[in-house]
A and B are shown apart, each in its own frame.
Chain A
Amino acid sequence: MSTFIRQFCALIALVLVSAGLNARPQASEHRTQPWSERTLEAFGEIPIQDGGRIKPLSTYASFALLRLNGKRSAESSTGEVLDPVAWLLDVTFFPEDAALSKSFLVSDSDAIIAIGLSTDGKKKRDRWTYAELLPGMPRLFSLAHDYDAIEAKARTSIQQQVVDLASNVFSFMRLARSFDWSRGGDPSDGHALTVIAPANTTNVDQPWFAPANLVAGIGPNRSLEPADAAVVAEFETLIRLRADAGAFESTLISLRDRLVARAMARGEYEHVELERAYYAFDPIRWSLASFIAAFLVVSIMWLRPRSKLAWKSTLALTSVGALLLVTAIVLRCIIRERPPVSTLYETVLFVTASCVLVAVFIECVQRSRFAIQTAAVLGTVGLFVANGYETLDKQDTMPSLVAVLDTNFWLATHVTAITIGYSAGMLAAALASFYLLGKLIGWKRDEPETRRKLARTVYGVVCFALIFSTVGTILGGVWANDSWGRFWGWDPKENGALLIVISQIVMLHARRGGYLRDDGLCMAAAFGGTIVAFSWWGVNLLGVGLHSYGFTSGIHSALWTYYGIQWGVVGLGGVAWLRERATRKNVPVETPVLEHRRAKKMRAAA
């Protein structure tokens, strides 16, 4: 069978598939000017029911674009940079234009080759438009269908990318078909935009409708409620007027008012505006900026250690960063009406905030400067991790919770305590790493008191961590007992928490017994950081047990990088300790207990 005939058939398939996408009876119109501010605002304010909760369309568009494109913007064919709302407007109202915007991120172009397209003129990691992918779609879906049957853990990277790309293309197609019904298409497709609340009931458990759902409900013996019919009519008007920017804007505003009124009547619009404000203001971005600024000033502090101005500005910038982060967390609590930590993303925010706050507190008490430097570093790293996780996870960071997690009491007590335990553990590891690296490079060599102070601070933070880790772990058991009837099941997540508690108890007992002194304690605390990381992230990667609800594959390499770095620091600390021992033989070293007794004796003698 000749290539020509095969290509001809592929072309027929292409034409037929794209026919499903384009306007059929009318000539296709194009968008001639950018969407106006008011249009974008109005569209973004429309509430949509997605993932079991009501959110503004701007949030929905934002996460949809993030999932498809790896960032919250898309480049159109005219070089215009579209924000998520503008992109969604294009996809739904001008699908022919959206087909030419770069909406799909493909990390490895081998996936493109696998579906039979050429990668000329494209980089290895590049963004693709729907039109560019169209010829390869039959093969894409066919391959994805086959790869989907392979268990997720067993797939290669390219196979996973093909599956993800197919899923993304499918999502795009669903959105693009949202208004196909008005062009004579099939209303059984395009149900993504569930923006219409049910008319005659205030039952919040009822699913919402997309315009296509309502239209599909019209039949020979069935007609719509007048209110619903009015909504559908307004949508039809909107679609018809899409090329007339001014008329589109005013109709959209009127439609938005209608849909918002419906949601308000059901009491479901409460926090939508607050959510819009949260994402618009984006306190996390500003917090990160503050921390980065503080980090830069920290480097100045290293050059000019006595500078009081540098110290004050670091303190101020870090505090501002912490305040903004706390604001973000509080806003999220209000919007979701839940305690601050309920998903893995939120643990990152909370851990970063606690670390920074505790470090700032330590600095205010001690003024030894190492705490504030650590705070700036932790704040920056923490928020980078948060952003990275959000991009990797590609989902709404304020999701609905499964039944067993949906209890505010236990989320507020157990989860918060464990998260504070994580943050204290990481803070101790960070401070201990500071100590060990400092020792290696001879920091404060002639000021042993400062080093002692740092070691004692590490000890203090470990004590603080112990309380929260222990209480949190036991509360977890009590919660499990109340939910499932077994206090402890040796589940990986439970085991991880137990490991943290054990490591901290060992550190304290060993210090008390004189087996670990300053250096040893810091090495142990730094190693403890990897135990915390294992419990926090590692157990989710194992994919077993009741707690594997946070499986993400990109985390794996980040985690092992951290392990490597932290173990390296511990190793270097060991080197520094050996070096010191070699140069300092026969000097009696004192344990805290002996020192205390000797001091007591001296006081008694005095």
Chain B
Amino acid sequence: MKRFARCLLAVFSSLGTSCILLVLLGLLTWLGTLEQTRTGLFEVQRKYFESFFLVHRFGSIPIPLPGANLVMCLLAVNLFVGGLVRIRKSWATFGIIVAHVGIAMLLASALVKYEWSEDGHVTLYEGQRADHFESYFRWEIALIRKEDDGKTREWLVPHERIEDAQRSRVRVSMTDVPFELEIESLARNCRPEWAKDAGAHGPIVVDGVRLVSRAVDARAEANIAGACVSVVDERDGIRRRALLWGAEAKPFTFFAAGKPWALSLRKERYEMPFALQLARFTKEDHPGIDMPKSFQSDVKVASAGVERDVKISMNEPLRDGGLVLYQASWGPSNARPGDRLFSTFAVVRNPADQWPLAACLVIAAGLLFHFVRKLVRYVQLEARAA
């Protein structure tokens, strides 16, 4: 047993392992880059860079490979055991150890971002106000009940269950809700159509309309999901069926158990600790050509009754309440002078926001120390030999 442990330690701290793992990571990076020309970034990211295992097709030959997630986990272990614990400690290796610490910080910030961050966007027309931001890719189904005091209560079916619905039916029960929801089918990208000829097969037709699946768009944000959902009420045996579509103008409203309810398929929403209102958006082009020179949004940030004016522009985000808001884009793209414009902010909640910069400085310091020291000794050696 002790021999096995020692062997394991030898494997994980060896330079050979580092080389193999790094080469694998390089291979995955290269394959993922080439694949992007065909598939689109979001899919490639999921398949190659956020997975533990994948099968890459070279023509028709399947090649199994570990995913980048797995490789990076192993590299982290290798870095820790070989690069920090077992490495010989002297001035000669001091710089290397510092650099390795920096890389460990980088890997840690990647982990934190992957597990504990949220990102999305909020789009506002001039004058509009919002207190939540939305995901780019993740959907949720919201069951909304009207409360007596004019507010509403929401139960949210998370993205993961919606993904499950692609393969099987999903039955959701919710506390305080006297019926169940069944998601019968889900399409990742679809458009509504009149069901002129109601075929026996094909997408379910409700109310003379059906949702027709389309090929998943390489630009992930362009995909509009659609679901067929049934409200299953055991007590009155009624099964109310509805189609929900990601770009619908209004939610599906119904009455059940004596109360008004609504169902909506929408992008996942995350609360912001403040309310954001867009006062004005200005875009400047370079004079005489159609190239943007600067974008700037004048916004009002209101929290706890206090309102303040802030400018958000390209390269100058707003940091508040653990969130960072960036000027991402604007529209409509065919707007003419005098038309009302909207501004889109990318919103990110990432505890590890500034860690990479710190990691960079640490790595730079370590490498510089190590190589400058080597260079100086080399130059001295050459001078003596000359």
Contact = CB atoms under 8 A, between A and B. Distances in A.
A478 B357 contact: yes
B25 interface: yes
B33 A492 contact: yes
B328 A484 contact: yes
Contact of B291 (A52, A367, A466): A52
Contacts of A403: 292-295, 314
Contacts of A475: 360
A460 B375 CA distance: 8
A565 interface: no
A506 interface: yes
A542 interface: yes
A482 B317 contact: yes
B35 to A, nearest CB: 10
A10 interface: no
A286 interface: no
B29 interface: yes
B345 to A, nearest CB: 9
Contacts of B110: 488
Nearest to B367: A467
Interface stretch (A144-152, A226-234, A494-502): A494-502
A470 B367 contact: yes
Nearest to A49: B288
A404 interface: yes
Interface stretch (A21-29, A82-90, A129-137, A199-207): A199-207
Contact of A495 (B30, B291, B374): B30
Interface in B1-40: 14-16, 18-19, 22-23, 25-26, 29-30, 32-34, 36-37
Contacts of B359: 474
Contacts of A502: 22-23, 25-26, 29
Interface stretch (B189-197, B264-272, B346-354): B346-354
A503 interface: yes
B347 A205 contact: no
A464 B368 CA distance: 9
A400 B367 contact: no
B215 interface: no
A194 B368 contact: no
A483 B34 CA distance: 26
Nearest to B355: A487
A208 interface: yes
B326 interface: yes
Q: Size range of the interface on B?
A: 35 or more
B61 interface: no
Contacts of B113: 487
Contacts of A509: 15, 18-19, 22
Contacts of B357: 474, 478
Contacts of A50: 288
B41 A515 contact: no
B119 interface: yes
B287 interface: yes
A478 B360 contact: yes
A463 B29 contact: no
Contacts of A515: 15-16, 19
A403 B45 CA distance: 27
B386 interface: yes
A207 B288 contact: yes
B287 A505 contact: no
Query: Which has the most chain A C-beta neighbours within 10 Å: B18, B29, B109?
Result: B29
B37 A406 contact: no
Given A365-B382, A463-B374, A491 B291 contact: no
Given A400-B293, A477-B356, A208 B382 contact: no
A194 B14 CA distance: 66
B288 A406 contact: no
A513 B19 contact: yes
A299 interface: no
Given A470-B363, A474-B360, A539 B368 contact: no
Given A403-B314, A463-B374, A471-B364, A485 B32 contact: no
A139 interface: no
A482 B319 CA distance: 10
B341 to A, nearest CB: 15
Contact of B30 (A52, A481, A483, A499): A499
Given A406-B293, A484-B326, A513-B19, A365 B26 contact: no
Interface of B: 14-16, 18-19, 22-23, 25-26, 29-30, 32-34, 36-37, 41, 44-45, 48-49, 106, 109-110, 113, 119, 284-289, 291-295, 314-315, 317, 324, 326, 328, 346-348, 350, 353, 356-357, 359-360, 363-364, 367-368, 371, 374-375, 378-379, 382, 386
7 contacts: A365-B379, A467-B368, A485-B350, A490-B44, A512-B15, A542-B33, A542-B37
Given A505-B22, A513-B15, 6 more contacts: A404-B315, A481-B356, A487-B109, A509-B18, A515-B16, A542-B37
Closest 4 CB pairs of A and B: A52-B286, A513-B15, A485-B348, A474-B360
